């Protein structure tokens, strides 16, 4: 219905078994091999199902993939494995042909954070269609955007918020600067 209404739709792999296993997969080849096979098969099946949909359907390889409860990582083995997994997903999608040969694909860094998408360790996969975009999920300031009714002590946002009710250095200038960098 969303596509029929003219909207763009982003379809991603969301809360799959490997989503929080990046740490164990980076240190255990059996887990990495198993998760890699799941990723390839998952994207092969999803891409085949949707290969004839128009360009308003966009795929995003992963949703905020991370290691357990660790939402920030500088672990090189994990970051490199995520680059490999993104390549596997792109290859599986492109191999199904039809609309997927040139469909836009979002590629997230670790936890899909803007910081990880800007990091030197982040690599866009090789893509014959050259139709990849960096995918970032932006929740800053998290203790405002993810907190119901100021439960975490921050109930306002922006330059005209009441002093003490907002996160210092995380207002409009911060958001604009982050998106300019992206």
Q: How far apart are CA 83 and CA 123, in angstroms?
A: 6
pLDDT digits (tens, 9 = 90+) for 40-91: 999 999 999 999 999 999 999 999 999 988 888 889 999 999 999 999 999 9
Q: Mean pLDDT over residues 92-105, rounded?
A: 98
In this structure, are residues 44 and 90 in contact, taking their beta carbons and an 8 Å threshold? Answer: no
Q: How many residues does the chain have?
A: 182
In this structure, are residues 150 and 165 in contact, taking their beta carbons and an 8 Å threshold? Answer: yes
Whether pTM exceeds 0.85: yes
> CB neighbours (10 Å) of residue 74?
10
């Amino acid at each position: 219905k969303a596509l029929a209404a003219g909207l763009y739709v982003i379809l991603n792999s969301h809360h799959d078994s490997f989503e929080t296993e990046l740490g164990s997969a980076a240190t255990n080849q059996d887990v990495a091999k198993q998760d890699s096979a799941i990723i390839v098969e998952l994207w092969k099946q999803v891409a085949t199902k949707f290969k004839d949909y128009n360009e308003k359907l966009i795929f995003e390889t992963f949703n905020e993939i991370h290691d357990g409860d660790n939402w920030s990582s500088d672990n090189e083995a994990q970051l490199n494995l995520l680059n490999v997994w993104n390549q596997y997903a792109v290859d599986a999608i492109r191999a199904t042909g039809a609309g997927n040969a040139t469909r836009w694909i979002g590629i997230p860094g670790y936890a899909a954070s803007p910081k990880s998408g800007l990091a030197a360790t982040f690599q866009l996969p090789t893509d014959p269609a050259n139709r990849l975009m960096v995918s970032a999920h932006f929740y800053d300031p998290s203790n405002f955007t993810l907190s119901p009714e100021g439960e975490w002590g921050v109930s306002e946002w922006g330059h005209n918020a009441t002093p003490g009710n907002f996160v210092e250095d995380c207002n409009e200038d911060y958001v604009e600067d982050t998106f300019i960098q992206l």
